């Protein structure tokens, strides 16, 4: 019995999961969230958080056109994005604590600080004019059959390539030939004590979630559920080390496509789940489809925003959800990036409202829903899965080609 407990602990908690396992778990939880609440997004609440911060500084941000009084009405317990964002941090933290691997990850070079500042700001600015990040505008949009998701994927990929070159040229930490100071070796007793403290802290966070869910079940019945989903996603991402940014960046910079293939599998799994959701909502013949088709608007604003976001994500060291996960792991660099991510979003959003939306050249406002475009759900599902399969094969062959070279 003791051996079985050890095996379960090592498999579920201590050992790293495969990229594919983490990506598929993330996809399943995202579909669950979409089924019972709403589509998963990460960047949406950041503009609100920025506005609330400005309010604390005495700025009447609520009178701005993009807020229109929404800051006064904002309630954390009823805001899905805010709950799942915070839960990402706690999910990653719980993962590290239960594995006794949590620690403060400090800054090793001033270049890390500048990369976090510039990268975080560019991510936020890109989100402001897209609008949307790699989750809401891509990972939740492609399975939801929105053409905007595919456009975001294409240009965030190009942005990541540029970001990789910029990072290698200007922000890669210099090679140090100095000997690192020897780490203090802990005694077996200190190791056991540290392990006990961390596992206890992880268990305490899980207990705190249960207490929170029970305490808020009347005021906000779905708050506990949304926290659970967010924590589950954060846990899966941390345990598998899955990273959207690496999925865009690695094929060209290192030749590895393992993360890319895991992302494509997750998109395929999500597509099947979302197909069921959409058919139940809109009918197999699109008979219940509202006048405004679901999905994001296509246009030059989407191209610009996703490209800028891709550059920023590489510099910052993580995508939208990756930043929250790394904050949960104890990363100071990601904490700095998050602060400037919020700042960039708060600056980019007014530009979207006051400039981009008023320009026919930049913003068309047109939503392209693939089942409408392709003649129904059947063709849309088949074509989307086929495209994902072809991309998976191309990614696999690219990796084999790079390995042979």
Each residue's pLDDT tens digit, 282-298:
999 998 998 888 889 99
- The answer to whether residues 336 and 117 touch, using CB atoms and an 8 Å cutoff, is yes
| Strands 366-367 and 297-298, bridge-based pairing | antiparallel
Mean pLDDT for 103-129 is 95
- The answer to whether residues 356 and 129 touch, using CB atoms and an 8 Å cutoff, is yes
Q: How many residues in the chain?
A: 405
Question: How far from 289 is each of 38, 110, 303, 384, CA to CA, in Å?
Answer: 17, 52, 27, 20
The reply to whether 242 falls in a domain is yes
Q: Is the pLDDT of residue 7 over 90?
A: no
- Dig out the tokens for 153 from the structure: 């994927």
**242 Cβ neighbours under 8 A, 6+ residues apart:** 19, 22, 23, 26, 236, 259, 262
Give which of 74, 84, 76 is closest to 37, Cα–Cα: 84
pLDDT in tens, 32-63: 999 999 999 999 999 999 999 999 999 999 99
Q: State the pLDDT at residue 183.
A: 60
Residues 20, 32: Cα–Cα separation, whole Å = 18
The reply to whether 124 falls in a domain is yes
Q: Is the pLDDT of residue 174 over 70?
A: no
Q: What is the pTM of this model?
A: 0.94
pLDDT in tens, 360-373: 889 988 999 999 99
Q: State the pLDDT at residue 178.
A: 55
DSSP one-letter code for 78: G
Mean pLDDT for 333-357 is 94
How far is C-alpha 106 from the chain's CA centre?
A: 22
The reply to whether 183 falls in a domain is no
Mean pLDDT for 120-146 is 94
By three-state DSSP, how is residue 376 classified? coil
**184 Cβ neighbours under 8 A, 6+ residues apart:** none
- Dig out the tokens for 51 from the structure: 């506005």
Question: How far from 148 is each of 142, 245, 247, 272, CA to CA, in Å?
Answer: 8, 19, 19, 18
Residues 270, 327: Cα–Cα separation, whole Å = 26
Mean pLDDT for 230-235 is 97
How far is C-alpha 391 from the chain's CA centre?
A: 21
**229 Cβ neighbours under 8 A, 6+ residues apart:** 29, 32, 33, 37, 40, 84, 87
Dump strand ranges (E) for 174-280: none
CA geometry: angle at 65 spanning 62 and 69, to 5°?
A: 35
The reply to whether 182 falls in a domain is no
Q: State the pLDDT at residue 4.
A: 58
Give which of 321, 144, 338, 313 is closest to 230, Cα–Cα: 321
DSSP β-bridge partners for residue 7 = none
Q: State the pLDDT at residue 402.
A: 87
The reply to whether 399 falls in a domain is yes
Q: Is the pLDDT of residue 259 over 90?
A: yes
The reply to whether 129 falls in a domain is yes
Dump strand ranges (E) for 152-220: none
- Dig out the tokens for 78 from the structure: 């009823």
The reply to whether 177 falls in a domain is no
The domain tally of the chain equals: 1
The reply to whether 70 falls in a domain is yes
Q: Is the pLDDT of residue 11 over 80?
A: no
Pick 172 or 357 by higher pLDDT. 357
By three-state DSSP, how is residue 366 classified? strand
Domain around 230: 2-171+188-404
**186 Cβ neighbours under 8 A, 6+ residues apart:** 194
- Roughly what angle, to the nearest 10 degrees, separates helices 332-354 and 320-329? 150
Residues 60, 385: Cα–Cα separation, whole Å = 48
Residues 115, 171: Cα–Cα separation, whole Å = 6
């Amino acid at each position: 019995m003791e051996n079985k407990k050890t095996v379960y602990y090592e498999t579920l908690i201590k050992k790293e999961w495969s990229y594919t396992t983490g990506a598929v778990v993330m996809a399943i939880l995202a579909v669950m969230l979409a089924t019972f609440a709403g589509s998963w997004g990460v960047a949406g609440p950041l503009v609100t958080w920025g506005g609330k911060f400005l309010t604390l500084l005495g700025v009447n941000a609520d009178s701005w056109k993009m807020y229109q009084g929404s800051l006064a009405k904002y309630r954390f317990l009823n805001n899905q994005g805010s709950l799942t964002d915070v839960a990402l941090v706690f999910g990653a933290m719980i993962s590290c604590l239960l594995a006794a691997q949590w620690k403060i990850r400090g800054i090793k070079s001033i270049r890390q600080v500048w990369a976090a500042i510039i990268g975080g700001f560019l991510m936020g600015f890109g989100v402001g004019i897209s609008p949307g990040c790699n989750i809401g505008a891509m990972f939740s949009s492609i399975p939801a059959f929105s053409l905007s998701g595919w456009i975001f994927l294409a240009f965030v990929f190009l942005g990541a390539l540029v970001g990789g070159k910029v990072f290698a040229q200007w922000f890669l930490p210099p090679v140090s030939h100095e000997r690192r100071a020897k780490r203090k070796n802990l005694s077996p007793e200190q190791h056991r004590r540290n392990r006990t403290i961390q596992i206890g802290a992880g268990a305490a966070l899980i207990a705190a979630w249960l207490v929170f869910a029970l305490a808020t079940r009347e005021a906000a019945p779905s708050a506990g559920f949304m926290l659970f989903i967010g924590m589950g996603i954060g846990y899966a991402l941390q345990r598998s080390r899955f990273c959207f940014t690496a999925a865009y960046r690695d094929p060209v910079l290192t030749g590895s496509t393992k993360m890319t293939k895991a992302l494509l599998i997750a998109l395929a799994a999500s597509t099947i789940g979302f197909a069921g959701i959409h058919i139940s909502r809109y009918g197999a013949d699109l008979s219940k489809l509202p006048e405004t088709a679901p999905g994001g608007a296509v246009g030059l604003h989407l191209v610009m925003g996703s490209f800028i976001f891709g550059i920023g994500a590489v510099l910052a060291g993580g995508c939208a959800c990756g930043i929250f996960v790394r904050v949960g792991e104890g990363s100071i660099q990601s904490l700095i990036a998050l602060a400037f991510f919020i700042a960039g979003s708060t600056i980019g959003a007014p530009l979207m409202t006051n400039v981009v939306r008023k320009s026919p050249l930049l913003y068309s406002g047109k939503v392209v829903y693939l089942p409408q475009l392709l003649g129904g759900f059947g063709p849309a599902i088949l074509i989307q899965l086929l495209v994902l399969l072809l991309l998976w094969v191309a990614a696999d062959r690219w990796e084999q080609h790079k390995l042979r070279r």
